[in-house]
Amino acid sequence: MADKKKIDFDFAAHEAPLFKAWNEGGYFQRTPGFGKHQNDCYTVVIPPPNITGMLHMGHALDDTIQDACIRRARMQGYQTRWVLGTDHAGIATQTKVDKKLAEEGISRLEIGREKFIEACYDWRAHYGTTIVEQIKGMGCSCDYSDEHFTLDPDYIDAVRRLFVEWYHDDLIYRGKRIVNWCPHCTTAIADDEAEYVDEPGHLWHLRYPLVEPIDGLDYIIVATTRPETMLGDTGVAVSPKDPDKQKFVGAKVKLPIVDREIPIFSDYYVDADFGSGFVKVTPAHDPNDWAMGERHDLPKINIFDETAHVVEGYGEFSGMSRDEAREAVVAWFEEHGLLDHVEDHDHSVMTCYRCHTKLEPWLSEQWFVSVDRLKGPAAKAVESGEITFHPARWSQVYLDWLENLKDWCISRQLWWGHRIPMFYCDECGWEDASVEDIHTCPKCGAAVRQDEDVLDTWFSSQLWPFATMGWTREGTQASELQKAYPTQVLATARDIMGLWVARMVMASEYCMGTIPFENVIIYPTVMGSDGKPMSKSRGNGVDPLKLMEDYGADGMRFGLLMQVTGAQDLKFNESKLENSRNFSNKIRNAARFVMMNLEGFEPGEPEVSTPADRWIFSRLARLVARVDESFDAYEFSDVTRELYAFFWNEFCDWYIEFSKSRLSGSDAADRLACQRNLVFVLDTALRLLHPIMPFITEEIFQDLPVEGEDPYLIACAWPEAESLAKYRDEQAERAMIMVCDVVSAVRATRSRYGISPKQALSVTVKVEAASDAALLSEQEQLICGMGNIESLQVGCDAEKPAESSVTLGTGLEVYTVLSGHVDFEAERARLEKQRASLAKDIEKFGRKLSNPGFLAKAAPEVIEKDRAKHADLSDQLKRVESQIAELN
């Protein structure tokens, strides 16, 4: 939970005016570039959120990644544009509007298709912009002046054009095949959209009588998890690897209840070890059975209607739901002595991703895309390296998905969406696809009708990268497409890699003759702090809007990217956001210190003269290079770690400390040089931080006395590693690392033993090399001043003085003399007492954490808290024992 004591800063009040200034200033639109990239475009298309959506943690992470990329590219001088838009979300929106109408006592069937679509557009106008406003709150620099929607007129034209081209190129066909059907939504669902749920079930062993006895057997036993579908059985299969079953091949059984004679055949799909070894085959209600039915020319009998009720012709079973039919069929078999036995059997069932109803494999007439000709170019684009996945392992997942891809069912039995542009004449049988509406038959002049179904939402969204840049238009839009395509980066979740990413590649290769994007970032799925998927029912969800209230948009963005690694899932850790908020405060305080010490400041080039200057500028040069490398590799946690470490540890904790004596000194020239260096380092650090923390960096930049290339940091130049390379100084870095180690060791010793900072200490430092001794000796005045050291000895052969502490540094040992400053007997007694207390507490927590009863009943967060406390106490004990050993 957020630390409420520290939430006294109104982030929105500071952030909103800056966002307004950027947006109204045209910084989010495609603007002229500058520098070496001034003629290059850098374009990103946002994965269009559903108009039904609210900002969730996946959106927050995805949008932060995209904004970081686009802001950096803008500062690098590219002509940047982040294309914004939303998706009409066919099933989701229709479900929402259906629910709203039902609350008003209205049915869409009552008002008709046209009125219902009007209601959908009204709903979109009222609710559909919610997530866009929330994206703005994050500071995302999308081009809000040109927002797109997948049911805009231009987009509709593009979708119809693609359908017509694929239809005339024999890539789209209509056929009667088995699909995943939602009886509640009464529409087909794509294979990839089905959600699998594990549930306890049964394996019913049913007796099917043989038409003619075989070796004295009157029946065979089939095992099934769905006894109700036996009404549609048209065959029984056995494995050719099962020698005991081969004598049955070619025989027939009489299907109970319906008295249908069906054949027994052999097929390699059958697992001889599953159930009884006899598998009932229902081609109209199981995709694997469908495939066997195709191979063995079996009839395909659909026993359910569109709501999954048994159709007419099955006597007492007609009109029953699936569940009712199951109970009735099992009861019938038991009553007639044909139920052999029942086993418990857990299995996985497919459910609708929207309403969570169990899907029904169902034979129906649908429209399909023939994917075989499209798969090859889409695979080659990744295999050749034209498209690169980050992390790289996802490329194989993409290729595996393509290899196993079957023809794609693109028709949906909905009203909201892109209506299929197929037109039919019932008089003469003419039919064709058309981009324009057709009202009369071109063959006989009779009135024509349009197909009632709409297209799968993924069919329309596959055009997103090029349809949003004027694919169907002439003039300005077309020229932009020619210049800005392909786009540079797509950031998305792994679960739509096949549904969307692969299909965009297939569509782009066909329509544009090239790839849609050069890089695909697959970001990790954000899980709850308990490691489980976020959900309301679990109570482990996190609202990014609330996080922005508590930590600011910058704090949330930086804290999220700190957690992004190459792992598949991200276990959300809110403490990272607290660290980010504290980091924001550190940035603000450091900037305040610099501003307060700029009296007499005059802009000018930095003057790198002192060892501390050479060190910080060398570290800055390395930082820019490392941040560039990490950004280019899309290693965002590395970017945040490098920036955090430099700004907090090196700039704030040390360089500002080194600068204080110079700023308060009497040498005006040295003071000015120090001011210029502070401003330069701060300015460079703000530029590096800006893509991830845009608000605080812009706010500080507005007050910083720098001659920027633009009034706003958002359009100022990104630091160039090449121009800073001249500041690289290995010796200065080594010298200051040792200085920091020595001063830190002395300060830690003071803290450990309660020695006042006013008491001067004697210190000896043992180094490994003579060169280190020389470097460190040169900084004696600086070390003694910062550590209040009265005597400093440095050497390769330095020996540990009597009664001194030992602290290890990077290639050195620091001995701080304690005699005269510490009462050793009293200190030993205090430490022994502390050791006994810690040991007692550790034992108490150890007993508690090893108690099975406590572990079984306590809440996970309580157990985790106690484990953390136990670990902390153990660490404290180790430190105390180390001090006792040191005193002895």
What is the identity of the amino acid at 385? G
Tokens describing residue 626:
């490392």
Rounded to an integer, what is the distance from CA 470 to the centroid of its chain? 29
Tokens describing residue 380:
């080659």
The dihedral built from the CA positions of residue 292, 294, 295 and 297, taken in this order, carries a sign that is positive
Q: How far is CA 599 from CA 50, 186, 366, 664, 670, in A?
A: 53, 74, 76, 11, 13
- Of 789, 741, 796, 751, nearest to 769 (Cα)? 796
Tell me 855's DSSP state.
H
Tokens describing residue 715:
């359009």
The dihedral built from the CA positions of residue 643, 648, 649 and 654, taken in this order, carries a sign that is positive
User: Are 213 and 443 contacting, i.e. CB atoms less than 8 angstroms apart?
Assistant: no
User: Does the annotation list 536 as a binding residue?
Assistant: yes
Helix 668-689 and helix 636-644, axial crossing angle in degrees, nearest 10: 160
Give the Cα separation of 167 and 173 in Å (integer).
Answer: 7
CA dihedral of residues 653, 654, 655, 659 (deg, nearest 10): 100
* DSSP assignment of 530-589: TSSB--TTTT----HHHHHHHHHHHHHHHHHHHT--SSSEEE--HHHHHHHHHHHHHHHH
Listed in order, strand segments (DSSP E) in 301-410 are 339-344, 347-351, 360-369, 388-390, 408-409
Give the Cα separation of 387 and 40 in Å (integer).
Answer: 19
Tokens describing residue 221:
């036993």
- Of 556, 494, 881, nearest to 695 (Cα)? 556
Instruction: State the CB neighbour count (10 A cutoff) for residue 148.
Output: 20
Give the Cα separation of 237 and 290 in Å (integer).
Answer: 12
Give the Cα separation of 563 and 637 in Å (integer).
Answer: 6
Tell me 719's DSSP state.
P
Residue list for the binding site for ATP: 536
Residue list for the binding site: 536
